[in-house]
Amino acid sequence: MTIELAIGRIVHGYVKWFDPVKGFGFVVCDDDGPDILLHANVLRNFGQSSISEGAEVEIEIHDTSRGIQATRVLAIKPPQKTSVTGEGDSDSDAEETGPLVPARIKWFDRTKGFGFANVFGYPEDVFVHVEVLHLAGLADLQPGEAVAMRVVDGERGQMAASVTSWEAVLSGDLEI
């Protein structure tokens, strides 16, 4: 079966998987076409270093001799929201209404499922759980990465109720 694609065609789909360590992943197109390669550099140009499985995407694609590849990410919509699980869960209203504050990731270990951030103006580190990332459409964070987050008091201290890429704030999609 041969598929004819125009250069720069825009498609919608969802992330099948993405591994920031390997530097790539695949998108499944809504029209059931072949998997589309999503390289980490293309994702970084959008302002993110990772993306979670199931996130909806709008991408520009190009057909190459090695298959179909994403050339530009136009939009990302996080996977359907469930609930944040884990010790010290806070009121779900705080997750939606608390102010977004600028932060930098101190460290994050995807294998352990958590990490910490330094929030400007907060004296203590803020706990970041992997589930909060998944709700934002992210799969991993890098040390020093700029993000915006809503911070709430948990049983053991400050924790992120939501995290978003700094690029989403700068692009005007969100307001601090």
- Domain housing 140: 92-170
CATH number at residue 164: 2.40.50.140
Report the domain count for the chain.
2
Q: How confident is the model at residue 5 (pLDDT cuts 50, 70, 90)?
A: very low
Structure tokens at 160: 């992120």
Q: What is the pLDDT of residues 119-176, one digit of tens each?
A: 988 889 999 998 898 888 788 888 998 899 999 988 888 999 999 887 777 766 554 4
Position 85 pLDDT exceeds 70: no
In a domain, 3, yes or no: no
In a domain, 85, yes or no: no
- Greater model confidence, 86 or 39: 39
Which of 53, 77, 101 terminates a domain? The answer is 77
Whole-model pTM? 0.60
- The mean pLDDT value of the chain amounts to 81
Q: Please check whether residues 105 and 166 belong to one and the same domain.
A: yes
In a domain, 22, yes or no: yes
Q: Please check whether residues 116 and 46 belong to one and the same domain.
A: no
Which of 24, 54, 77 terminates a domain? The answer is 77
Q: Which amino acid is at 17?
A: W
Can you tell me the distance from the alpha carbon of 74 to that of 173, in angstroms, rounded to the nearest whole number? 12
Sign of CA dihedral 52, 55, 60, 63: positive
Q: Please check whether residues 122 and 165 belong to one and the same domain.
A: yes
Q: What is the pLDDT of residues 33-48, one digit of tens each?
A: 789 999 999 998 888 8
**Residue written as token pair 């999609």:** 173
Instruction: Quickly list DSSP for 111-161.
Output: TTTEEEEEETT-SS-EEEEHHHHHHHT-----TT-EEEEEEEEETTEEEEE
In a domain, 84, yes or no: no
Which of 50, 77, 104 terminates a domain? The answer is 77
